[in-house]
Amino acid sequence: MALNFPPPSPDDTQPTSPLLKKSVSGWLQFAPLVVVIAFAGIALVVVLLWLALMIVPGVRDKSVTISVDGSAFPTITRAFTVAELLREQNITLNEGDVIVPAIQTAIKSDMVVSVTRARSVTLTVDGQSRVYRTHLINPAEILESAGLILGEQDRVLVDGTAAEVASLQRWPVPATQITVQRALRMRVLDGDSERTILTTHDTVGDALFDADITLYLADTVSPDLYTDVTDNMEVTINRSRPVSIIADGVTVETRVRGKTVADALAEAEIALVGLDYPIPDEETSLLPGIRIRVIRVSENVIFEEARQPFETIYQADSTLEIDQTQTLQAGQEGITQTSVRVRYENGVEISRQVEETTVTQEPRDQIIGYGTNIVLRTIDTPNGPRQYWRRLRMYATSYHPAALGGDNVTATGKILTRGIVGSDPRVVSYGTQLYVPGYGEGVMADTGGARPGLWIDLGYDDANWVSWSRWVDVYLLAPVPDNIRYLLP
């Protein structure tokens, strides 16, 4: 039920009751204490939240794998997002880099974060170059990403190699330099005929040659053959009499009186020297519009050297300590020399004939001695001095049953706990007693997947697991085993 009070009179601006004055003043005496209690409660909540973060491993630490251009490494992080993880690892993203998952993604345990670095690709279009950064490798996809649309007649060079526009999608290797020359239109008036060609060449002469428009010595071209090509230009060809002789890279248009190819060559003052020959042959009768090609022939003898690899032989040496090597004989490649007769026609190689092959230097094997002498030495351990017969520099990691999904049985049937270590049995035999500074003594009783280099996995139980990720000295303790692998893989 609502209670209705009469409105105060204009003169009723101060409380007149002594009791009310006493209540207000009494409450004000306790105000500082209330504020202190409130702040203390807030501080208690903050401390409890901090303790929760420190006590619960899943909230505080997360195990993730970071891969940069295919090179992966594990790490432990407290980052909440991919962006924070990259900042924590000092990994800077550049223009064009691809990050998976997205940088705003929340970090979860066992997450894989992949960074693919963008490459620098030089794009040159009609003589103008710029550097374009992208993670793409296919030239067609790079051009599309850069907003470049090609015509079928455009000329494209990928890393200096000419390419058809239609073949760019199937280009087999990553592209680093792409050059595009746009095709220009040229209207060619050739006697009574007219045609329009598209060309990517710089001069009129190159454009006409590429379009298979044959020019003879007596022909006139306007503008001349050395004129730079411009878009929509018009080129006029005035033809001479139709006898064509192509020799030494030049097409000669002339009128001849002779009846044979030999007569035409003589009147054009084109000589055949040595092995040179014409097509058709010299006795062929001339017909109107005949084309005569002069093939310049030359031969040259070249000498090619080929190197024969030497073999490397390993030889036991009892004067050297184990894990020491010494080159007993330097290797030397063998050399063979072959004389080859090369035939050229119009400057193009058409055949090769091997004339003789000679061995000028025999290969010599490289011999490397490896030590087999076992020397016992002593190392101080927390359990007292121990003798060891081999010291290996290995990369140490650690594991425990929980990291294996609860599996606590090793490859040799032992229970995984502190003192059980795993490694490559080709390097450290099962049952070998060993000592690792900072870890203690252990026995080789487990193995894992293939890893590069020399490695050792230090075992723990779940309650006492300690993370290892560094290079350590591993001492193989006496007694010396009967079977020793002197050459490590």
| In contact, 292 and 216? CB cutoff 8 Å | no
Is residue 60 within a helix (H) or strand (E), and if so which, with residue range?
helix 57-60
By DSSP bridging, strand 455-459 and strand 420-423 are: antiparallel
Q: Taking the model in full, what pTM does it have?
A: 0.40
pLDDT at 7: 45
Radius of gyration of the chain (CA): 43
Whole-number Å distance between alpha carbons of 234 and 163: 28
144 phi and psi angles, rounded to 5 deg: -65, -40
| In contact, 467 and 458? CB cutoff 8 Å | no
194 phi and psi angles, rounded to 5 deg: -140, 140
32 phi and psi angles, rounded to 5 deg: -60, -40
At 115-127, the pLDDT tens digits run: 988 888 898 988 8
Which residues in the chain land under pLDDT 50? 1-28, 50, 52-58
**CB neighbour list of residue 184: distance below 8 Å, 6 or more residues apart:** 198, 199, 200, 229, 230, 231, 232, 233
| In contact, 183 and 151? CB cutoff 8 Å | yes
Per the DSSP assignment, residues forming a β-bridge with 473 are: 393
Domains of the chain: 60-116 (3.10.20.90), 119-181 (3.10.20.30), 184-298 (no CATH), 299-370 (2.20.230.10), 378-477 (2.40.40.10)
Find tokens 């350590």 and name the residue.
472
E strands, 322-453, are 325-329, 334-345, 348-361, 366-373, 377-381, 384-399, 420-423, 433-436, 440-446
Identify the DSSP state of 364: B
pLDDT at 127: 81
